[in-house]
Amino acid sequence: MALIGVRGTVVDIEVHIGGMPGFSLIGLPDASLYESRDRVRAAVLSSRESWPLQRITVSLSPAALPKRGSHFDLGVAVAILAAADEVPLDAVDGVLFLGELALDGRLRPVLGVLPAVLAAERAGLGRAVVPEANVAEARLIPGVRVFGARSLRQVLAFLRGTEIPPEAPDELEEASGSSGTTPVDDTADLADVAGQKEPKRAVEIAAAGHHHLLLTGSPGSGKTMLARRLPSLLPDLSLDESLEVTSIHSIAGVLPPGRPLIVRPPFADPHHTSSVVSIVGGGSRVPRPGAASLAHRGVLFLDEAPEFPPRVLDSLRQPLESGSLTLARAEATSVFPARFLLVLAQNPCPCGNFGSTVHACTCRPDAVRRYGQRLSGPVRDRVDIQMKVDAPTMAELDAAADGVEPSKAVADRVAEARARQERRLRGTPWRCNGELPGPYLRRELKLPADVTAPAFADVRAGRLTLRGVDRVLRVAWTIADLAGRDRPTVADVKKALELRRGEAA
């Protein structure tokens, strides 16, 4: 299976044996795949199998498709032995083979097993042979019979229908896996945040309607705490969403160990020194997913957003609109899903104390202005909610000690609002208000002129763009959904305008 983005293409491995001894591998292999000829030969001989003493030509078809990775090793080895009549041909027909071979014949786990098996099932392949460490991931796809092996010897015994020889578990397999680049703290609760009534409400609205959020406040005011607790308000992923998210993490090699299926929305928190490639994905030949795709169906949190390079922030403009990333290279064009909820956090100035009633700001006025301009206008225009986060007062801290609302209670309201949206959007490709395109809002969900009048008044005053009007109306629909209303009111539109301007109090 050749993976381009999250799309898999079946690769037929053809072998011809004859002529003077030699080995040729053709079909646009990369360096790691080209080196498989030495790994395969050593693994076959170490498994006490006969190696053909003639010229071996291995063709990977379709020939024009770039192929990369060591997961072709097992298929190449089996194809050579089948061509040499060491394995029954009918046993390998219609079977997907995935696995990297060690020199002693052990089978090592590989990346991208889930999307590969999913593509195989869609192509009509009913059986798959994978490394034992990848079995749980491969068996997530119903309709495909999966055999997990620890070595080439076990694979050959399975294909020949003989007794499977015992093999000791590979220490590398047991240690393989990653904690992932998008960890979510399951113990984080919105009740941990003292006070912050309006910021909490903004986070709730963002979660309910999938609206992008900008939090501005001095250091220690609670911006990061709020952002890290937003995933606890989101509902579990559906099965289709889980498979989609898990496929991306499988390709990136960051699936959590022991958890082959991701059921909770992911949370990506890249450092502000991250490059464009690490955020949006990329690579010299076949691109790999970045943090934006790893946050698909979850939250992408950019802390200290003005400190990110402008090219990184502007590179998010496409996925914020389309929900996907298209990365074109000379050999292939990869498309990665990237429908994330963007949360930005920033200080009001370089020292962080501008507007503070506790600490004096030491920044020059021009430095404050330049700092606020580091987020470009097009990026800000795509942010639905802007919220100022002030440090909690002693009165708020005392009130918090008497009891605060936990994430579970807020998540229940979010789930009810999401259910209303799903019923309203049944039969469309969209699930949340934040995903709705402008034409659908204006035609199918058209509101009376007196309800939308405050938004268009801001357009005439030059305070709002037409794109901004669409985003205000999306937020207004979410406010109405949280309140249990069938349609937004003028008050909902005015509240959405306040949230967009950062004027909510």
The pLDDT of residue 387 is 94
In three-state secondary structure terms, 264 is: coil
Q: CB of 224 within 8 A of CB of 215?
A: no
Q: What band does 255 get if pLDDT is binned at 50, 70 and 90? A: confident
In three-state secondary structure terms, 416 is: helix
CB count in 10 Å sphere of residue 460: 8
Q: What is the pLDDT of residues 10-24, one digit of tens each?
A: 999 999 999 999 999
The pLDDT of residue 49 is 96
User: Is pLDDT of 173 > 80?
Assistant: no
Residue whose pair of structure tokens reads 């009509």 in the numeric block: 124
In three-state secondary structure terms, 147 is: strand
The pLDDT of residue 31 is 87
Q: What is the pLDDT of residues 27-45, one digit of tens each?
A: 989 888 889 999 999 999 9
User: Is pLDDT of 388 > 50?
Assistant: yes
Q: What band does 198 get if pLDDT is binned at 50, 70 and 90? A: very high
Q: Taking the CA atoms of 87, 143, 264 and 250 in sequence, report the sign of the dihedral they define.
A: positive
235 vs 404 pLDDT, higher one: 235
Q: Taking residues 445-464, what's their average pLDDT? A: 94
Give 102's DSSP letter.
Answer: P
How does strand 333-337 pair with strand 324-328? antiparallel
Q: What is the pLDDT of residues 330-358, one digit of tens each?
A: 777 889 999 999 999 999 999 988 877 77
In percent, how much of the chain has pLDDT > 90? 74
DSSP notation for 443-473:
HTTPPPHHHHHHHHHHHHTTS--HHHHHHHH
- Angle between helical axes of 407-424 and 197-209 (0-180°, round to 10): 40
The pLDDT of residue 299 is 97
Q: Which of 68-77, 402-411, 456-465 has the lowest mean pLDDT?
A: 402-411
Q: CB of 28 within 8 A of CB of 64?
A: yes
Q: At 388, give phi and psi (nearest 5°).
A: -85, 130
Q: What band does 191 get if pLDDT is binned at 50, 70 and 90? A: confident
How does strand 213-216 pair with strand 22-26? unpaired
User: Is pLDDT of 178 > 70?
Assistant: no
The pLDDT of residue 184 is 59
Q: Which of 127-136, 181-190, 221-230 has the lowest mean pLDDT?
A: 181-190
User: Is pLDDT of 175 > 60?
Assistant: no
Q: What band does 172 get if pLDDT is binned at 50, 70 and 90? A: low
Residue whose pair of structure tokens reads 């801290």 in the numeric block: 397
Q: CB of 458 within 8 A of CB of 410?
A: no
Q: CB of 130 within 8 A of CB of 113?
A: yes
| Rounded-to-integer distance, Cα 43 and Cα 74, Å | 10
pTM for the full model? Answer: 0.89
User: Is pLDDT of 232 > 60?
Assistant: yes
Q: What band does 180 get if pLDDT is binned at 50, 70 and 90? A: very low
